Amino acid sequence: MHLPGTISDGVIVKAGNLGIRKFDLIGELKKYFSNPIYIRNDAKCAAMAEKIYGAMRDYSDGVFLTLGTGIGGAVIMDGKLLEPKRYSGFEFGHMTINKGGRLCSCGKRGCFETYASIKALKIKITETLNIDCDISGQYLREVILKREVFEEKNEKVIKELDLFLDYLSVGICNLIDIFEPEIIVLGGSFAYYKGNPIFDMLLKKVYKPKATFNEGNPPKIVTAKFANDAGIIGATLINDLNRLYN
């Protein structure tokens, strides 16, 4: 089973987007099911799926970002998933990129995911167009952005999209400078942007001069091979991983 948030020994320590803190999910599920139950952070599951079968298969050093309601992350170094001993770690969505900025579900201000998650983009675009924000990430791409950005050229929408990509690129460049990955894989709803000009707009920002410390050998940046299903595919690999919870 894969879940967003911080998971430790089968307990959801904190899942800001779900409004959950310290919940023994496995303990609850064991009241109803007798078979072994394993849970892991969703971004770590997705990263393992992409490492074993997907976009990171031929790379030893990679960063995985899942962009959806929030932003999750995982790092593969020397072919192995990096894991801290205490919690899930690599909560990239909660690194501060704007001190004193927007309030995040975690309680901090200015977190990366409050500016660069698909949820953040959806809020800004639907506010700008004055439409219902209860739309899927796929719909956001297929209808709103395509129509408003590339056909009708709505300047207000283009401005919000550009700002979103600015923040996303700043976060990605920070991760490049910290981990020096060979590849960065973008999953979650952002995987729907594969082959879309919006993805090229992001690459231009990340690859522009002086965006990162070491400019000479930038990482490859791609969308997840398994798109929004990488997490669930990775969850099937939990039994193959080192740390099991039951």
Interface with Zn ion (CB under 5 A): 94, 104, 106, 108, 111
Q: Please compute, for residue 159, the number of CA atoms within 13 A of its CA located in the half-sphere on the CB side.
A: 6
Q: Which is nearer to Zn ion, 31 or 86 (CB)?
A: 86
Task: Look at residues 157, 181, 9 and name the one whose alpha carbon lies nearest to residue 92.
Answer: 181
> What pairs with residue 71 in β-bridges?
67
Nearest approach, Cβ of residue 195 and Zn ion (Å): 31
Q: State the nearest-atom distance from the C-beta of 83 to Zn ion, in Å.
A: 21
Looking at the Cβ atoms of 90 and 192, the one nearer to Zn ion is: 90
Q: In whole angstroms, how close is the CB of 108 to Zn ion at the nearest point? A: 5
Rounded Cα gap, residues 39 and 125, in angstroms? 34
For Zn ion, give the closer residue by CB, 102 or 208. 102
User: DSSP E strands: which ranges in 36-123?
Assistant: 40-41, 62-67, 71-77, 80-81
Q: Shortest distance, CB of residue 15 to Zn ion, whole angstroms?
A: 12
Residues 190 and 188: their CA atoms lie apart, in Å, by 5
Contact 25, 39 (CB under 8 A): yes
Element of type H or E holding 32 = none
Question: Would you say 50 or 91 has its CB closer to Zn ion?
Answer: 91
